Amino acid sequence: MQSIPIMLHHREIMGCAPTGSGKTLAYVLPILHDLKGPAKEGIRAAIICPTRELATQIFREMKKLSKGKPFKICVLTKLSNSSDNEQISASFASFDILISTPLRLVHAIQHQGLKLDKVKHLVLDEADKLLELGFLEQIDEVLASCKDEGVYKSLFSATIPSGVEALAKTFMKDPIRVVIGQKNAATETITQKLLYVGQEEGKLIAIRQLVQQGLKPPVLIFVQSIERAKELFHELVYDGINVDVIHSDRTKLQRDTIVQNFRSGKIWVLIATELMARGIDFKGVNLVINYDFPQSVASYIHRIGRTGRAGRGGEAVTYFTKEDAPYLKSVVNVMRDSGCDVPEWMLTMKNPSKNVKKNLKRKPVDRDAIKTVSKFDEKKAKKKREMVEASKKRKQRNESKPKASDEATDT
C-alpha cells in the first residue's frame, strides 16, 4: 500500500518491512504497471538480489503477475554456453526486465555487452546484504552502468541498519523511507524460543528428542558452515529422517531440485547454510531450528523469517551453548521487541559490545564437529587407541632387541 504510489510517482524508496510481509509484490506491481507493456527498447527494469535461488523465485513471481502482458523477463543465472558475445548482447537487448545476482550481472556487463542505460527502475532486494563489503563493489559497477538521470532506485529489506541507510543516501535521490512495524524486529506471528543445550553434543540430543515427540514438517535447520551442514545431514539421514541438505558446494541442478522437492513436500527436513536465510518463500514452513546460533541479529531475523510468512503462524527454536552466551542478549532483544515472552533473567543480561558483535560477524564460534559420539566416549576411545598403539610399539621394540642366542652367535 505504501510503496506502490511512491514508486508510481517516480520517487525513490527505502522500504523496511518484516519478513514474509510481501515486499516482492511491493515493487513488482508498480514496476509492471509503470512499464505498461513490452517495448523492445532494452532492459527497463533491473532487480538485484543476493542469491540465485531468490532471483529464480522473483522471476517466477514476475511471470505470474505479468500474465496477460507479454513482457520479456530474463533471469541471469548460469553463464551462457555461446561464445558469440554479439549474439548474447543482442538477446539481452530484447528483454524488458532483468533479474540477477550482482556477480553474474557484472560479468554480463563487462564481458557480454549487457547495457543498463535504458533502466528506469533499479531494485536492490535484500538491500542491506547487497551493500555489505562482499557485494558493494559490484553494486557500484551496476550503479555506474545505469544512466544516472532516468533511473529510480528502490531498496527493500526486513533489516536496514542505520549505517546502510546512510550509505544508501549517498547514491539515492531524496528517498522516501517507509518502515512497516518495528524496525529490525521479527514477525509477530512467529513463536520464538531459546534452548540451552549445554555443549555441542546437546544439540543432536535436542533434535532427536524433537523427532521422537513428532516433528511437524516442513522444518528448516540452519547451521553456520558447509562442513557442519554435511555433518548434520549424515547424522540425521542415518536416523531415517526424510532430510536433505543445501549449500553452495552443491551443483546448481542439485540446488534447484532440492528447493523444488522441499516446496512440494518430498523433503520434510532441510538443512541449510546462510544461503537460504534471505528472501526464500517456502510456504508453510512450520519450524525453523537455528542449530548453530546466528552470527548477527539480521541473520537471526532473516533465518527465522522463513516461517510465519504471509500472516501464517510459525515456530523458531534457537539452540545455544556456553560459547554462545555472550551474544545471547541481541536475540533476546529481538524476541522482546517482537512481543515474545522472555525470562526475566535474560532481559537483565548485558548487551554484547560493538566489537564483540563485529568479531562474531567476521568469524563464527569454533565448534566441535557434529557427531553422535560424545566427548566422553571419544576420550575413552582415544585413550584405548593410544594404549593399543603403545603396546604395539612395546612389542616391536622387544622383537627388535637381539635375543640371547643371537648375541652368542654374533660374538
Ligand X SMILES: Nc1ncnc2c1ncn2[C@@H]1O[C@H](COP(=O)(O)OP(=O)(O)OP(=O)(O)O)[C@@H](O)[C@H]1O
What's the residue count for the chain?
411
CB of residue 309 to ligand X, shortest distance in Å: 5
Decide whether 118 or 278 has the Cβ nearer to ligand X: 278
Decide whether 12 or 281 has the Cβ nearer to ligand X: 281
- Write the interaction track for ligand X spanning residues 218-247; mark x where CB under 6 A is met and - where it is not: ------------------------------
CB of residue 195 to ligand X, shortest distance in Å: 23
Q: Is 388 in contact with 367 (CB distance < 8 Å)?
A: no
Decide whether 9 or 283 has the Cβ nearer to ligand X: 283
Return the CA Rg of the chain: 27
Decide whether 158 or 164 has the Cβ nearer to ligand X: 158
Tell which positions 301-330 bind ligand X, by CB under 6 A. Answer: 305, 309-310
CA-wise closest residue to 227 among 241, 243, 211, 245: 245
CB of residue 183 to ligand X, shortest distance in Å: 13
CB of residue 49 to ligand X, shortest distance in Å: 9
* β-strand partners of 291: none
CB of residue 123 to ligand X, shortest distance in Å: 11
Decide whether 283 or 403 has the Cβ nearer to ligand X: 283
Tell which positions 253-312 bind ligand X, by CB under 6 A. Answer: 279, 281, 283, 305, 309-310
Instruction: Give 184-242 as a DSSP string.
Output: T---TTEEEEEEEEESTHHHHHHHHHHHHH---S-EEEE-SSHHHHHHHHHHHHHTT--
- Write the interaction track for ligand X spanning residues 92-131; mark x where CB under 6 A is met and - where it is not: ----------------------------------------
Decide whether 20 or 102 has the Cβ nearer to ligand X: 20
The Cα 372–Cα 182 span in angstroms is: 41
Grid cell listed for 209: 528428542
Decide whether 183 or 329 has the Cβ nearer to ligand X: 183
CB of residue 75 to ligand X, shortest distance in Å: 16
Report in angstroms the alpha-carbon separations of 281 from 20, 22, 56, 139, 251.
7, 10, 11, 24, 21
* β-strand partners of 125: 156
CB of residue 333 to ligand X, shortest distance in Å: 19
Grid cell listed for 320: 545455544
Q: What is the DSSP letter of 351?
A: P
CA-wise closest residue to 2 among 151, 122, 179: 179
Kindly determine how many residues on this chain lie close enough to bind ligand X according to the rule CB under 6 A: 15
Task: Give residue 349's Cα distance to chain centre.
Answer: 28
Task: Give residue 74's Cα distance to chain centre.
Answer: 23
Among 88, 158, 243, 245, binds ligand X (CB under 6 A): 158
CB of residue 23 to ligand X, shortest distance in Å: 3
CB of residue 107 to ligand X, shortest distance in Å: 25
Decide whether 228 or 309 has the Cβ nearer to ligand X: 309
The Cα 263–Cα 225 span in angstroms is: 23
Tell which positions 9-28 bind ligand X, by CB under 6 A. Answer: 17, 19-25
Report in angstroms the alpha-carbon separations of 210 from 213, 215, 218, 287.
5, 6, 13, 11
Decide whether 17 or 88 has the Cβ nearer to ligand X: 17
The Cα 89–Cα 87 span in angstroms is: 5
* Chain residues that interact with ligand X, rule: CB under 6 A: 17, 19-25, 158, 279, 281, 283, 305, 309-310
